[in-house]
Amino acid sequence: MLRTCLCAALLVMAGCERIMTEAPPAGEDFASPLEGMAGELNAVFLQGDENFARPFTPAEGLGPLFNNVSCEGCHPGDGRGTPAEGFFRFSSGGNLLADQGGPQHQDKNITGAPSEQVPAGADRSFRLPPPVFGMGLIEAIPAEIILANEDPEDRDGDGISGRANWVQAPDFVPASHVGGGPGPQLGRFSRKAQVSSLVHQVAAAYQQDIGITSDFLPVENPHPQAGSVALGDQVPDPEIPAATVLQTVMYLRLLAPPAQGLRTPQAERGEALFGQLGCATCHVPAMRTGPHPIPQLSQQVVRLYSDLLLHDMGPDLADHRPDGDASGSEWRTAPLWGTRLVGDFLGGKTFFLHDGRAATLDQAIHLHGGEAQAAREGYAGLGSPGQQDLLTFLGSL
C-alpha cells in the first residue's frame, strides 16, 4: 500500500512539468517569484522551492498518518488540488476533536501504523487544496484595509454583511510575524480564514498533511488507534528544524500571482456586469499592501478579487462545521486571481468552490446562496449573452 501511495504522490508532485510540454512564460504559471528579486532573497526562494517539492519517506519521518509525501503533491504547480485527494476536516458540535485525530483526516498510513478512523457521528467537511501563490501579498495587506470592508450589521442594507474571523494564534507564532502574538488575531488564510499567520499555516501543513514534526509542532498528530506509540515511525521528533519551515514560509511569501489575461470587449462587458450584480462587494477587485521590508511586497496593488472576510453562503454550500469564529455556513471569500489558468495545471479539468464540486464557473455561481443569493438570481436573469460575458471576464482573471 505504501509503495503505491508513494509512487502516485511522486507523479502528482511533478505538477505542471508533467502536464505541460514546456515551461510557461512569465505570468502564465503559479510558481514564479515576485519580479525583481535577486541575490539572497532569490536564494531563499530557491531553497524554499526545494523544500516545497521535497518528497519525504518513512526513513525521514513521513507519517505515521499523512495525506501526501510533499507539499507539491497536494498543490500541483502551486495551484489548487483536485477532489480526488478526498481531504476532509471533521469535528463534532464545534469541537475540533484534536484528541481524536482532528481536525483533519489523514487517509494514508505508513507500514506498521493503523489507518485513522473518524469518530462516529462527526461532521465532515471536504476541502480542495487551495492555490498557494500570492500569500505574501495577502499577508502584507494591513488589517485596517481588510476591516474597512466589514459590515456585520448590514448597515447599508445590501444584504451583504462580511465580517472578520478573529482567531487565537498558536504560542509558537512570534509577535514579529503578521498574525502572531497574544490576543485575537485577524484570520486571513485558509477556507474559513481560521489561520492568521503563514508560520502557522506551513508548520501545521507539515504536521497534518505529511506527518512531519518541526520545532514549531514537535509532537505527532494524536492517533487514537495507535495509542501513545507512533508505530512504524522511528525518526526522533522534531523531524525538521524551524529553519526548514521558515524557508518554506518565505517561498510562499515570495510566490507571485499570475498575470491577468487579455481584456477583450466581451470581458469588459462582463466586468461591468460583475459590478452591477454586486459580485464585487465580496470579490473586491483590489486592495493595497502597506510598507514592507521586502520591496516587492511594499505598497503593491493586490488584484485578488476577495475581501478576505467571512460571508454566509447559504445552505447549499454549508458544511455545518464551525471553524474558529466562522459558522457552518460561512466561508472566506475565495480569491479569483488565477482562475483563467486552473485547467492548465489540472490536466485540462477545472474544479471550483471549497470542495471542488463545481466543474465550471457557471455551476459555481448557481450554488451561491445566502448573502450571494441576489447576485446569483441576477446572473440567472441575464440570459445567455450576458452570462457568457460575465464568464469570459472571470475566465480572464
In a domain, 237, yes or no: yes
Q: How far, in Å, CA of 5 to CA of 58, rounded?
A: 12
In a domain, 20, yes or no: yes
- 242-253 and 39-53 are packed helices; what angle lies between their axes, rounded to 10 degrees? 110
Residue 4 is predicted with a pLDDT of 33
In a domain, 138, yes or no: no
Residue 217 is predicted with a pLDDT of 96
Residue 117's domain comprises: 2-131+192-253
Residue 325 is predicted with a pLDDT of 86
Residue 8 is predicted with a pLDDT of 34
Q: How many domains does the chain have?
A: 1
**Cis peptide bond N-terminal to 238, omega within 30:** yes
Model pTM? Answer: 0.91
Residue 21 is predicted with a pLDDT of 41
Phi, psi (5° rounding) for residue 311? -140, 140
At 206, the amino acid letter reads Y
Residue 348 is predicted with a pLDDT of 85
In a domain, 178, yes or no: no
Residue 82 is predicted with a pLDDT of 82
In a domain, 121, yes or no: yes
Q: Which residues of the chain have pLDDT under 70?
A: 1-26, 225-232
Residue 222 is predicted with a pLDDT of 77
Going from the C-alpha of 135 to that of each of 115, 141, 284, the distances in angstroms are: 33, 10, 16
Residue 86 is predicted with a pLDDT of 76
In a domain, 169, yes or no: no
The torsion of the CA quartet 165, 166, 167, 168, rounded to 10 degrees, works out to 170
In a domain, 28, yes or no: yes
Q: How far, in Å, CA of 361 to CA of 353, rounded?
A: 9
Q: How far, in Å, CA of 257 to CA of 235, rounded?
A: 37
In a domain, 101, yes or no: yes
Residue 226 is predicted with a pLDDT of 60
